[in-house]
């Protein structure tokens, strides 16, 4: 279709149009593109492509002949810019652009063309949620546009879900539970329109579940914490396999511990959460190969007591001992069964004053935080006896998130953002069933953050800056993690996936994130010598 035929002047002045033959019938109202109409431009939907091409040509022409600008400014006849098609035509003729002879001149790169159209869609989206349906394009364009329409609708539903989640959280915070409950119903209905296999739909589903549990079952936690220790270990193990966060934590902590143990012949590691002991084989191997030979390694693993009489801690200890024996490292293991970290007393660890001690806490310290900041809160007690052990190093790995704020809405918002990012990163994992079980592991965390309160809420994540203040106030000073740890972490991440994950160094601490949103942070600390016993007021 030649461009002159398609141009027809609508109601309005537009005298500059060189359209020769055009029928001057008014275009039917519904053919006007709705989104651009919202911005004040009248363009027929059927002409969008040509107008876009002509706009591009106009831009090139303007760029090529800047001298004509002044002429335009002074001699311009005022064309009606709301009739975009005619306006562009007239400006093009001002630049003395020769009219094209055939439509083949308009073979603009369809990709570029598409982007012009797409930006029209996305730009107008916040204003008019209704999607423009009646578009007549040639086949290829219409197919692409249908896809854009579908994506726009899904994006739209996703955005609405997020808004509704926020509103529901606000209702919960203000106590309006009936409205919150009705919102839950609406959201569950909306979920059927959204793809729940990936993306916002999946995360939203988990948050809706957690909110409904909070509203309907109270804040005791219910089934969220009801998982047995055995189940938790399995989920943890799959979380370890599916994504690099725990591997990053283990390898970084091991590197720091290895460097701290340099030159010592008797070393003692205290692990605050032994689980399957997956962190320690690498350290044992590194100690076996260190120049000067391996030290005597003692490992004290803390873990929950196992039901039905089985001693899971001892089993892990035996496995680690077998590994240590294979590589000729003198090894001794001790298990301390405690359901809460604050129940552990330093005498249970049996630390020998002559040995170098390392304390290793992978996502355990945040469990000691309570919502009230009392003087002798569990965190202070534990930190003070750690200090009493005078460890050569304390490695702390914590989620880089602010999930311990007193206000529910703030906490909810933070958690929504944090776990969306984490689920995004999990998309990269192709290994099943690890991925599904890892998701359940994360889902339990979400449930605890959102639906539990008081002592039931143990996932009280705090960001690294807060931990720095807290640990400095408790008599620790930061140790820099060093370039070896950074190099190792970078290599490890590259193994998982070349894009997406990123390691950042921040004042000696390393943080692992997804597309530069930090998700987990590792730091190392040492007790400051000659610390006064009275607590500083801070």
Partner 1 sequence: MVENHRREDHETGGENKEKRPKFFINDHVDILIEILERLDGRSLCVAASVCRLWCTIARNDSLWENLCFSHVSPPPSSVRSVVLALGGYKRLYTGCVRPVRSRLGRVRRASWARDEVQLSLSLFCVDYYERLGGSNSNGRLVEKSSPSSLMFLCKPVNV
Residues numbered 212-231 forming contacts with partner 1, rule: CB under 8 A? 230
Q: Which of residues 469-488 bind partner 1 (CB under 8 A)?
A: 487-488
Tally of helices (H runs) and strands (E runs) in the chain: 18, 9
User: How many Å from the N-terminal Cα to the C-terminal Cα in the chain?
Assistant: 76
- Cβ distance to partner 1 smaller for residue 75 or 499: 499
Q: With binding defined as CB under 8 A, does residue 234 bind partner 1?
A: yes
Cα–Cα distance, 237 to 346 (Å, whole number): 28
- Residues in 267-326 at the binding interface with partner 1, rule: CB under 8 A: 276-278, 281-282, 284-286, 288-289, 291, 293, 310, 312, 315, 319-320, 322-323, 326
- Taking the C-alpha atoms of 482, 484, 488 and 493 in order, what is their torsion angle to the nearest 10 degrees? 40
The piece of 387-395, 415-423, 465-473, 498-506 that touches partner 1 (CB under 8 A) is 498-506
Q: Is 97 in the site for partner 1 (CB under 8 A)?
A: no
- Looking at the Cβ atoms of 214 and 238, the one nearer to partner 1 is 238
Determine the size of the site formed for partner 1 (CB under 8 A): 46
3-state secondary structure of 25: coil
Contact status: 404 vs partner 1 (CB under 8 A)? no
| Distance between CA atoms of residues 494 and 409, nearest Å | 36
* Tokens (6 digits) for 199: 């993306």
**327 forms part of the interface with partner 1 (CB under 8 A):** yes
Element (H, E) at 271: strand 266-271
The site map against partner 1 for 15-54 (x = CB under 8 A) is ----------------------------------------
Q: Can residue 198 be called a binding residue for partner 1 (CB under 8 A)?
A: no
CA 492/CA 498 separation, integer angstroms:
10
Distance of CA 20 to the CA centre of its chain: 57
Q: Stretches 28-36, 399-407, 425-433, 529-537: which one binds partner 1 (CB under 8 A)?
A: 425-433
Instruction: Write down the least CB distance from residue 261 to partner 1, Å.
Output: 16
Nearest Cα residue to 262 out of 300, 298, 292: 292
Residues 185, 208: Cα–Cα separation, whole Å: 9
CB contact at 8 A, 429 and 518: no
Nearer to partner 1, 340 or 487 (CB): 487
Q: Which residue, 501 or 525, has its beta carbon nearer to partner 1?
A: 501
Give the shortest CB-420-to-partner 1 separation in angstroms: 16
Q: How far is the CB of 495 from partner 1 (least distance, A)?
A: 5
Is the Cβ–Cβ distance between 287 and 269 less than 8 Å?
no
Q: Left, alpha or beta for 225 (phi > 0: left; psi -120 to 50: alpha)? A: alpha
The reply to whether 427 sits near partner 1 by the rule CB under 8 A is yes
Nearest to 274 by CA among 244, 318, 308: 318
- Note the residues at the interface with partner 1 (CB under 8 A): 230, 234, 240-241, 244, 251, 254, 276-278, 281-282, 284-286, 288-289, 291, 293, 310, 312, 315, 319-320, 322-323, 326-328, 427-431, 434, 487-488, 491-492, 494-500
């Amino acid at each position: 279709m030649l461009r002159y035929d398609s141009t027809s002047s609508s109601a309005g002045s537009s005298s500059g149009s060189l359209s020769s033959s055009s029928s001057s019938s008014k275009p039917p109202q519904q053919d006007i593109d709705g989104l651009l109409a919202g911005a004040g431009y009248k363009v027929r939907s059927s002409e969008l492509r040509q107008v876009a091409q002509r706009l591009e040509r106009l831009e090139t022409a303007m760029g090529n002949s800047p001298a004509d600008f002044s002429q335009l400014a002074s001699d311009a006849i005022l064309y009606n810019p709301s009739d975009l098609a005619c306006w562009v035509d007239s400006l093009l003729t001002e630049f003395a652009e020769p009219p094209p002879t055939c439509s083949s001149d308009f073979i603009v790169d369809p990709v570029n063309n598409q982007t012009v159209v797409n930006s029209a869609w996305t730009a107008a989206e916040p204003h008019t949620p209704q999607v423009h349906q009646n578009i007549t394009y040639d086949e290829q364009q219409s197919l692409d546009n249908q896809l854009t329409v579908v994506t726009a609708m899904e994006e739209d539903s996703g955005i609405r879900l997020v808004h509704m989640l926020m509103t529901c959280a606000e209702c919960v915070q203000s106590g309006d539970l009936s409205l919150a409950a009705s919102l839950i119903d609406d959201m569950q209905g909306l979920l059927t329109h959204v793809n729940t296999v990936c993306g916002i739909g999946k995360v939203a589903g988990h948050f809706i579940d957690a909110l409904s549990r909070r509203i309907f079952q109270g804040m005791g936690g219910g089934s969220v914490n009801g998982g047995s220790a055995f189940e938790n270990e399995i989920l943890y193990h799959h979380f370890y396999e599916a994504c690099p966060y725990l591997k990053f934590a283990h390898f970084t902590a091991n590197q720091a511990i290895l460097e701290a143990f340099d030159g010592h012949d008797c070393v003692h590691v205290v692990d605050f959460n032994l689980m399957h002991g997956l962190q320690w084989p690498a350290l044992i191997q590194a100690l076996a190969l260190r120049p000067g030979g391996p030290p005597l390694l003692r490992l004290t693993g803390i873990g929950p007591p196992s039901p039905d009489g089985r001693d899971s801690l001892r089993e892990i200890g035996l496995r680690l001992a077998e590994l240590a024996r294979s590589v000729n490292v003198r090894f001794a293991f001790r298990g301390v069964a405690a359901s809460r970290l604050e129940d552990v007393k330093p005498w249970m660890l049996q630390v020998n004053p002559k040995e170098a001690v390392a304390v290793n806490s992978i996502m355990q310290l945040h469990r000691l935080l309570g919502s009230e900041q009392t003087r002798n809160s569990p965190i202070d007690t534990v930190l003070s006896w750690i200090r009493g052990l005078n460890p050569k190093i304390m490695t702390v790995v914590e989620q880089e998130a602010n999930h311990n704020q007193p206000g529910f809405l703030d906490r909810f918002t933070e958690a929504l953002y944090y776990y969306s990012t984490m689920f995004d990163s999990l998309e990269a994992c192709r290994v099943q069933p690890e991925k599904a079980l890892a998701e359940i592991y994360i889902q339990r965390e979400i449930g605890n953050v959102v639906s539990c309160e008081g002592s039931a809420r143990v996932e009280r994540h705090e960001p690294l800056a807060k931990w720095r203040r807290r640990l400095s106030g408790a008599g620790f000073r930061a140790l820099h993690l060093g370039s070896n740890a950074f190099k190792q972490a970078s290599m490890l991440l590259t193994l998982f996936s070349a894009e997406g994950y990123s390691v950042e160094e921040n004042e000696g601490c390393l943080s692992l994130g997804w597309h530069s949103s930090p998700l987990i942070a590792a730091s190392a600390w040492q007790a400051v010598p000659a610390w006064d016993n009275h607590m500083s007021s801070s």
